[in-house]
Amino acid sequence: MALTALELKDKTFSTKFRGYSAEEVDDFLDIVTRDYEDLVHKNHAQETEIKSLKDRLSVFDEMKESLSQSVILAQDTADKVKHTSEDQAHNILKQAEYDAQNLLNEAKDKANAILRSATDNAKKIAVETEELKNKTRIFHQRLKSTVESQLSLINSSEWEDLLRPTASYLQTSDEAFREVLEKALDERPAVTEEDLDMTRQLTPEELEELQRHTSELDAAAESEFVEHQETE
């Protein structure tokens, strides 16, 4: 057990013959006691300081540990965030590629559908056009045949006799009437102009009026024929 300053101060020695001087020993003990007390105080102060430093060091150690844990946690968090970000970026990229492929497929399907529809419509129009051409060709042939038949009928020589002016018949009525009388009476008397007064020649005015009336009848008949052809 370490000596205290008080024990050094109260320490007594037995005296012997021819021993040390008591006063010198006491003075030396006083010096030793003071020095010892100073050392004790210094030692105490150093212990206090060491304890304080240890406490501070402990705090620093705790802070260091906390910082280390924080750094580790931050690193873990950063790694997790990085991995999460990479995963999200990868997922977003995958989703974008998937959506883009779907849009591309839809666009191709729509384009193919439009192309097929256009092709079908073109084929349908081509078929309808060809059918219309065939019908037109048949109609043209029938129309041509009808027109040729009508022209043949119109150009027939029978129309010349049929459409001769009535006046031309009347101009020769005297001779015709004379022939009828001769055949009816089975004789050939001399027929005079007076006897044929009922079949006299028409005057120029009467012939002109008759020709005008005949022209009007011909025009009316032609107009009726044209209207009939248009309705057919």
Structure tokens at 198: 């009922």
Number of domains in the chain: 1
Q: Confirm whether 28 is domain-assigned.
A: yes
Is residue 33 included in any domain, yes or no?
yes
Range of the domain at 48: 5-9+21-75
Residue at 109 is within a domain: no
Model pLDDT, residue 150: 78
Tell me, what amino acid is at 114? I
Task: Determine, yes or no, domain membership for 184.
Answer: no
Which among 171, 172, 178, 206 is positioned nearest to 193, based on CA atoms? 178
Q: How far is CA 51 from CA 4, 41, 45, 47, 58, in A?
A: 22, 15, 10, 6, 10
Contacts of range 27-35, beta carbons closer than 8 Å, 24 or more positions apart: 32/8, 33/5, 33/8, 33/9
The token pair that represents 65 in the structure block: 């540990």
Kindly state whether residue 64 falls inside one of the protein's structural domains.
yes
Write b or e for each residue in 177-204: b if 16 or more Cβ atoms lie within 10 A of its Cβ, otherwise e: ebeebeeeeeeeeeeeeeebeebeeeee
181: nearest Cα among 162, 163, 195: 195
195 is written with which tokens?
């006897």
DSSP string, 171-213: HTHHHHHHHHHHHHHTS-----TTTTGGGPPPPHHHHHHHHHH
27 located within any domain: yes
Residue 61: both structure tokens together: 């150690």
- Residue 207 makes CB contacts below 8 A (sequence gap 6+) with 167, 170
DSSP state of 40: H
Q: Which amino acid is at 73?
A: L
Does any domain span residue 57?
yes
Q: What is the pLDDT at residue 114?
A: 93
- Other CB atoms within a 10 A radius of the CB of residue 36 amount to 19
Phi, psi of 191 (to 5 degrees): -95, 125
Given this model, what pLDDT does residue 62 score?
A: 83
Say if 49 falls within a structural domain.
yes
166 contacts: CB under 8 Å, gap ≥ 6: 210, 214
Distance CA 146, CA 152 (A): 10
Q: What is the CA radius of gyration of the chain?
A: 77
Per-residue pLDDT tens digits of the chain, which is 232 residues long = 455 666 656 666 566 666 667 777 777 777 888 888 888 888 889 999 898 888 888 888 888 888 888 888 888 888 888 889 989 999 999 999 999 999 999 999 999 999 999 999 998 998 888 888 888 889 888 888 888 887 777 777 776 766 666 555 555 555 555 565 566 555 544 545 444 444 455 567 766 777 777 777 767 767 776 676 666 5
pLDDT at 32: 81
